[in-house]
Structure 1
Amino acid sequence: MSGQQGPTLIASVRRAFRLMEAVGAHDGGVPAKQLARETGLAPGTAYHLLRTMVHDGYLRRLEDGTFVLGEKLGALHAGSRDQAALSRVRPTLTELRDGLSAAAYLTLYEEGEIRVAEIVDGPKAPRVDLWVGFEDAGHATALGKSVLRELDADARADYLSRHVLNDLTPRTVTRRAELLRRLDASPRGPAVTDVEEYRLGTACVAVPVRRGDTVGSLGISVDVSRTACLDDAVARLLDTAERVSRGLSLTI
């Protein structure tokens, strides 16, 4: 039975791809009969596959009965662009890790949340144990605070209105007024640090990056015994952040 099912499923996948290609070749909606004719599929087969792909979001059926590409394909395309962008900057993050002997982190502010886009670590540069997700710890991490510092007042207020400033360690800043004061008075210029605010035993420094209009941050983490090296790391981080921003913003 499995020997017969495999080729049948493969053939169905191929037919579905042919239908999506045919739909994509038309600027406006295209009727099922025309799609069956253009793909060489029997009308019944075409109708069945079209209904399935509409149900799954790969196609959309308009009110006039014609078909266009669905939102899920757009999401997949956007995801592939994001993967391509990350692949372009990953070697740069690796250089940063090796040059500073520290794990390198990249975050992006997407849909109102600070999200980790990439971590490059290694045996000699272990990553921080992310025991609390970044979406709930932006106030306690250098990476999160770097993003918050770059947001305009409205976007920053919106973020803080939706997130509790949880007490993660005895050094975590949990008062909004104090957090804002520190963000605006960081002594390292564009760089922001956290020393045991997210996790005891760990210090971090981060600088801003951008992917087009999207704000993000680039940072490193080290054992707290190496906190003194963070000042020397800022210049390298800023240079690397420029390269990362260019790589993320490429549209090809």
Structure 2
Amino acid sequence: MTGEPPSDLIRSVSRALRVLEVVARADRPLPVKVIARRCGLNLSTTYHLVRTLCYEGYLHRLPDGDHLLGSKVAERFHEMLDTFQRPPRASAVLRHLAEASGHTAYLAQLAEGRLIVVDVAEGPRSPWLEDLQAGLETAPHATALGKALLLSLPSPVRRGVLTEYGLRRFTPSTPASVEDLEEELSRLRPGQVVEEHGQFREEVACAGAIVPGTQWAIGFSTRGLAIPAAATARLEAAIRDLTRT
């Protein structure tokens, strides 16, 4: 949540969403008393919210009385991903890239200044990155995917995106300011394969590039700070495949 709350904020809806967020972030099912404490709500209100969310399918009550996310959350998640009009054959191309290179491959897009990972194909030569999973919003300034997409924007638009999003520090190598990132991007040309080395996660490198004629980027991650030339060649071939389709 950012900015001031709207004047017509419906507090019961806001509280219900807070309940869902608390349950989603927990590492185990939660009883209502714990949900109430973590949400800062009184117990009676929390019981009403939890029962309603269970009835609607957004929470599931276990036999012992604890609660976890319900199946309707998964349904809405998949519907959200389907709203992104992916390039034809994108999933197949992504899987082939992961299989051929051995590295986890990603498809992403900027949406309202946020980098959204829309599809992932796992590969054994890459670490599992919890922030680079399908449906999640992540940092455009510290990832190769995000930089490839930012590079396609006019500088004033790019600066606006970065200023609004903020430049969170993930590692000591993460760009510390808009000016630092602008200097880095000034050495690149739109459309080329962009690399980042240890800016998003220490001892992890990524490469990414935009699909010409679209607002999509694909890329891969690798253990260690080196980007294998063979994997980059596979990435370029995948981009050509998507461009042809």
Q: Deviations over 1:187-234 (max 9, x none)?
A: 997111111110112110111125x6x522110001016x141x4433
What secondary structure, in the 3-state scheme, does the structure 1 residue paired with 2:108 have?
strand
2:148 is aligned to 146
Task: Give the alignment's TM-score, normalised by structure 2.
Answer: 0.58
Q: For structure 1, which segment, 187-196 or 168-177, has the greater mean C-alpha deviation from structure 2 after superposition?
A: 187-196
What secondary structure, in the 3-state scheme, does the structure 2 residue paired with 1:173 have?
coil
What secondary structure, in the 3-state scheme, does the structure 2 residue paired with 1:130 have?
coil
For 2:220 and 2:211, how far apart are their aligned partners in 1? 14
**Kindly tell me: are residues 197 and 124 of structure 1, through their superposed partners in 2, closer, same or farther at Cα, counting changes over 3 Å?**
closer
**Kindly tell me: are residues 202 and 124 of structure 1, through their superposed partners in 2, closer, same or farther at Cα, counting changes over 3 Å?**
closer
Number of aligned residue pairs: 167
Structure 1 segment 1-252 matched on structure 2, within 5 A: 82=84, 85=86, 88-123=89-124, 125-130=126-131, 135-186=137-188, 190-209=192-211, 214-224=214-224, 227-229=226-228, 231-247=229-245
**Kindly tell me: are residues 177 and 137 of structure 1, through their superposed partners in 2, closer, same or farther at Cα, counting changes over 3 Å?**
same
Q: CA deviation at 1:131?
A: 7.7
What secondary structure, in the 3-state scheme, does the structure 1 residue paired with 2:89 have?
helix
For 1:121 and 1:236, how far apart are their aligned partners in 2? 15
Q: Which residue identity does 1:220 align to in structure 2? A: F
Kindly, what percent of the aligned residue pairs are identical?
29
For 1:191 and 1:144, how far apart are their aligned partners in 2? 12
What secondary structure, in the 3-state scheme, does the structure 1 residue paired with 2:170 have?
coil
**Kindly tell me: are residues 245 and 201 of structure 1, through their superposed partners in 2, closer, same or farther at Cα, counting changes over 3 Å?**
same
Contiguous gaps of at least 5 residues in structure 2: 1-77
Task: Give the alignment's TM-score, normalised by structure 1.
Answer: 0.57
Q: Which residue identity does 2:93 align to in structure 1? A: T
Pair member with larger Rg: 1
Q: Which residue identity does 2:158 align to in structure 1? A: R
For 1:126 and 1:185, how far apart are their aligned partners in 2? 28
**Kindly tell me: are residues 234 and 123 of structure 1, through their superposed partners in 2, closer, same or farther at Cα, counting changes over 3 Å?**
closer
Q: Which residue identity does 1:170 align to in structure 2? A: P
Q: For structure 1, which segment, 123-132 or 105-114, has the greater mean C-alpha deviation from structure 2 after superposition?
A: 123-132
Which protein is richer in helix relative to its size? 1
